[in-house]
Each structure stands twice: as C-alpha cells, then as structure tokens.
Amino acid sequence: MGSAMNNNAHADSNNDFQQVYSVAKSKLGSPYIYGATGSNAFDCSGFTSYVYKNSLGIKLPRTAQAQYNASNKVSRNNLQKGDLVFIGGSTASIYHVGMYVGNGKMIDAQNRGVVSENINAPWWNVVGYGHVDTND
C-alpha cells in the first residue's frame, strides 16, 4: 500500500514541480533585498514563500528557520525537485533556504540576487532538506 501511494505522490509532485519551477525560473535575476517577499525583489525565505504561494497557493512560514521547522524532513538520498534546501550552522540556526531543482542545483535569493547555483558550495553548510506537502 505504501509504495502505491509513493508512486502517485511522485507523479503529482512532478506536476507540482513544473508549476513551482516555472515561477522560480521567471524570477531569476531579481535583486536581493533583506525582508523582501516579491514580486520584484526577494530575500531567501521571501523567495521560496513567493514561489510556492504563486504556483500552488501554498503558504510557507516567513523565515528560513520556520520553513525548516514546518517542512517534512527528507534525507539527501530522497531529495526531490521542489524540495527546500536549508543552510546554517545547525538545524537550530538556519539562515538560508533555496529550492532544489535537480542536478545538484537550487534556485535561491542571495546577495547576488535570484540565481541558480550548486547546493554544495564551499561557503555554506547544508543542514537539512524539507519537502513541502502539496496535498493540503
């Protein structure tokens, strides 16, 4: 029973991902402004919140830490496109979030603006991954 549900969820999440990715991609190059939530400038959690709200109508918590706390944790091996990538000192001190888009890359809002970049960059520490429940 569990595997049938997973297969259905995966098909649905792929559809969901296309919608989320389309919104995220459309914002590449937007400037970073601390505290900004769109639609023309973003901070990291403002960006992920904007993308989910404007693609699937899902409201995420406002900060990267709160988004981590509210997400369904997944391991690196179970990371799927559309999942959130959390960066910080530890799971209790998360200061950055991006959205995984496949091939080891995420789209995130950081000081160079909204960019696509590798999740495993030498200048930060990935502390966890979270799946956004799209079934609510």
List per-block mean pLDDT (blocks of 10 residues) for the chain, which spans 136 residues. 38 82 98 97 98 96 97 95 97 97 96 95 93 80
Q: How far apart are CA 57 and CA 24, in angstroms?
A: 14
Q: How far apart are CA 33 and CA 14, in angstroms?
A: 30
Q: How far apart are CA 82 and CA 73, in angstroms?
A: 13
- Other residues' Cβ atoms within 10 Å of the Cβ of residue 135: 7
Run of H or E residues at 18 = helix 2-26
Intra-chain end-to-end CA distance of the chain, in Å: 21
Residues across the chain:
136
Catalytic residues: 44, 96, 108
Pair of tokens at residue 27: 């914002």
pLDDT at 18: 95
pLDDT at 39: 95
Strand ordering across the sheet containing 105-110:
72-74, 126-131, 84-88, 94-102, 105-110, 113-118
All domains of the chain in start order, with CATH: 2-131 (3.90.1720.10)
pTM score = 0.89
